[in-house]
Amino acid sequence: METVVSGIRPTGNLHLGNYFGAVKNFLKMQENFNCYFFIADYHSLTTHPHPADLHGNVRQILAEYLAAGLDPEKATIYIQSDLPEVAELTLLMNMNAYLGELERTTSFKDKARKQPENVNAGLLTYPVLMASDIIIHQASKVPVGKDQEQNLEMTRKFANRFNRIYETDYFTIPQPFNFGESLIKIPGLDGSGKMGKSEGNGIFLAEEPASIRKKVMKAVTDSGPTVPDSPVSEPVQNLFTIMEVVSQKEVLDQFKEDYAKCIIRYGDLKKKLAEDIINFTAPIREKINAIAADDAYLRKVAQMGKEKAHASASKTVKEVREIIGFKPF
Ligand code: TYM
């Protein structure tokens, strides 16, 4: 059975981008693959979260994973920092990751620009930690959104390089994965760019209907098409893209046709979009709070995941140590 690995940083509640770029695939994959889904709390340290917030953020994502339908009986669900083997593998993989290639990574350059006061070494070696997350379980498929494409390329590069240097075919070379084939990017409501936890443009699975309505009604559009069949502007296309994942196809087709005929009413588009988002998120939202309040259940899930993930990770690290040439006396 093929192995699947993916993770989400605990840096805020899950939003529609996380759901449609990643979690939706997790739910399908847990039925037929050997899955490891984790919460990337080591990775979240690159932005220096306050110690008092860290545990609560991890708990929240765990509760949201479960509320969205991840099943601890089907998938191994764990917390990254419960697996110190990942840190050891990262140290070993760091020896074959080169400064130039790490500095050229788009996400490193972005973060260095966004937090110039905190360009830490963890930001630079972020792709090495991510590669270790994936190869530690010998994953062949990694369900992620489009924004993770470059990180996945780095993972493939590091795994291939290890195999070459040590003249082995030990590591499986993973592929990014989405059931809809190409990786997706859910846009924000602010006219351009992707929906992100830190961009302030997200709609969250845990969000109350009134707040969703307010955000959608304020979404950026354009001043309206004036020439029939003109190309759809970026902000309106963004709303269509979100509609594509939450609404019926006929509804979207009707709005597209209205746009082409220059009779589209953005108020109607937004009202319908808000209601469809609310219908989609409501069943998940209703479960989140109950699960988040159930300490015993969360502890049990995390413990179970930790044991299963540890079994797989410790085997890999032991074998990697042997390949590298460490020998017990
Ligand atoms: P993170 O926490 O930023 O996002 C988690 C997942 O959600 C996807 N995603 C999106 N997909 C579509 N549209 C969007 N607007 C959108 N925003 C986020 C991301 O692509 C991702 O799949 N580095 C990773 C976490 C990570 C990881 C890993 C992932 C650490 N180790 C190993 C896979 C395998 C990250 O920061 O994701």
Of residues 329 and 95, more confidence is placed in 95
Mean pLDDT of 249-273: 97
Helix (H), strand (E) at residue 251: helix 249-260
In the structure, what pLDDT confidence band is assigned to residue 204 with cuts at 50, 70 and 90?
very high
Predicted complex: ipTM over 0.90: yes
Q: Report how far ligand 1's centroid is from the alpha carbon of 149 (Å).
A: 10
Q: What is the pLDDT of residue 122?
A: 97
Q: Is the predicted pLDDT of residue 198 greater than 80, yes or no?
A: no
d(CA 59, CA 38): 12
Q: Are residues 11 and 135 in the same domain?
A: yes
Helix (H) or strand (E) holding 322: helix 295-324
Name residue 34's beta-bridge partners: 3
Q: What percent of the chain has pLDDT over 70?
A: 100
171 shares a domain with 48:
yes
In a domain, 255, yes or no: yes
**Residues 107, 143: one domain?**
yes
Percent of the chain at pLDDT > 90 equals: 95
pLDDT band at 191 (very low <50, low <70, confident <90, very high): confident
Pocket of ligand 1 contains residue 201 by CB under 6 Å: no
Mean pLDDT score, 196-205: 87
Report the C-alpha gap between 261 and 145 in whole angstroms. 33
Asked if pLDDT for residue 181 goes beyond 80, the answer is no
**How far is 222 from 305, CA to CA, in rounded Å?**
47
State the Cα–Cα distance between residues 329 and 326, nearest whole angstrom. 10
- Rounded to an integer, the average pLDDT of 159-173 is 98
**Ligand 1 atom with minimal separation from the 5 CA:** 34
pTM beyond 0.90, yes or no: yes
Based on the domain organization, do 157 and 266 belong to the same domain? no
**pLDDT higher than threshold 80 for residue 52:** yes
List residues forming the annotated binding site for L-tryptophan.
133
Residue 157 lies in a domain: yes
Q: Residues 245, 135: one domain?
A: no
CA 145 to ligand 1: nearest atom: 20
Residue 18 belongs to some domain of the structure: yes
Domain CATH code at residue 76: 3.40.50.620
- Determine if residue 180 is left, alpha or beta; phi over 0 gives left, psi from -120 to 50 gives alpha, anything else beta: alpha
The residue contributing the CA closest to ligand 1 atom 20 is 145
CA diameter of the chain: 79
43 lines ligand 1 (CB under 6 A): yes
Please give the Cα distance from 43 to 181 (Å, whole number).
27
- pLDDT tier at 109 (50, 70, 90 boundaries)? very high
Q: For residue 28, what are the CA distances in angstroms to 155, 171, 263? A: 23, 25, 39
Rounded Cα distance between 45 and 118, Å, is 11
268 belongs to a structural domain: yes
Residues designated as active site = 111, 194, 197
Q: Measured in angstroms, how far is the CA atom of residue 266 from the centroid of ligand 1?
A: 31
Question: What pLDDT, on the 0 to 100 scale, is given for residue 301?
Answer: 98
Mean residue pLDDT of the chain comes to 96
Nearest ligand 1 atom to alpha carbon 186 = 13
Q: How far is CA 167 from CA 162, 164, 171, 322, in A?
A: 8, 5, 11, 13
The answer on 310 and 273 residing in a single domain is no
- Map residue 194 onto helix, strand or coil: strand
Q: Judge if 141 and 13 occupy the same domain.
A: yes
The residue with tokens 């932005």 is 47
Pocket lining: 6 vs ligand 1, CB cutoff 6 Å: yes
pLDDT at 288: 97
Mean pLDDT of 313-329: 96
**Residue 275 forms part of a structural domain:** yes
Pocket test for ligand 1, best of 89, 132, 136, 148 (most atoms within 8 A of CB): 148
Residue 328: pLDDT band (50, 70, 90) is confident
Residue 160 or residue 181, greater confidence: 160
**From the CA of 8, how far away is ligand 1's center (Å)?**
6
Residue 193 has pLDDT above 90, yes or no: no
Average pLDDT in the 285-299 region? 96
Ligand 1 centre and the CA of 265: distance in Å?
A: 34
Q: Give residue 215 CA to ligand 1 midpoint distance, Å.
A: 23
- How much is the average pLDDT of 285-300? 96
312 lines ligand 1 (CB under 6 A): no
d(CA 145, CA 18): 8
Instruction: Say if 20 falls within a structural domain.
Output: yes
Residue 180 binned pLDDT confidence (cut-offs 50, 70, 90)? confident
Which residue's CA is minimally distant from atom 16 of ligand 1? 17
Q: Are residues 136 and 281 in the same domain?
A: no
> Domains in the chain: how many in total?
2
pLDDT over threshold 80, residue 192:
no
Query: What spacing in Å lies between the alpha carbon of 6 and ligand 1's midpoint?
Result: 8
pLDDT at 149: 96
49 shares a domain with 12: yes
Asked if 174 and 270 sit in the same domain, the reply is: no
- Hunting for tokens 């797989």 — which residue is that? 312
Distance CA 187, CA 180 (A): 17
| Same domain (yes/no): 130, 45 | yes
Measured CA to CA, the distance from residue 262 to residue 315 in angstroms comes to 62
Q: Is the pLDDT of residue 189 over 80?
A: yes
Residue of 90, 147, 244 to mutate, ligand 1, most atoms within 8 A of C-beta: 147
The three-class DSSP label of residue 9 is coil
Q: Is the CB of 21 under 6 A from ligand 1?
A: yes
Give helix then strand counts, H and E, for the chain. Answer: 15, 5
Is position 226 within any domain? yes
Containing domain of residue 62, as a range? 3-185+295-324
Please report which helix (H) or strand (E) contains residue 175, including its range: strand 175-177
- Looking at residue 45, its pLDDT comes to 97
Is 313 part of any domain? yes
Q: What is the pLDDT of residue 290?
A: 94
Same domain, 307 and 284: no
Exposed e or buried b per residue across 311-325, where buried means at least 16 C-beta atoms within 10 angstroms of its C-beta: ebbeebbeebeebee
Task: Give residue 71's pLDDT band: very low, low, confident or very high (50, 70, 90).
Answer: very high
What radius of gyration, in Å, describes the C-alpha atoms of the chain? 21
CATH at residue 235:
1.10.240.10
The per-residue pLDDT for 226 is 93
Residue 203 Cβ inside 6 Å of ligand 1? The answer reads: no
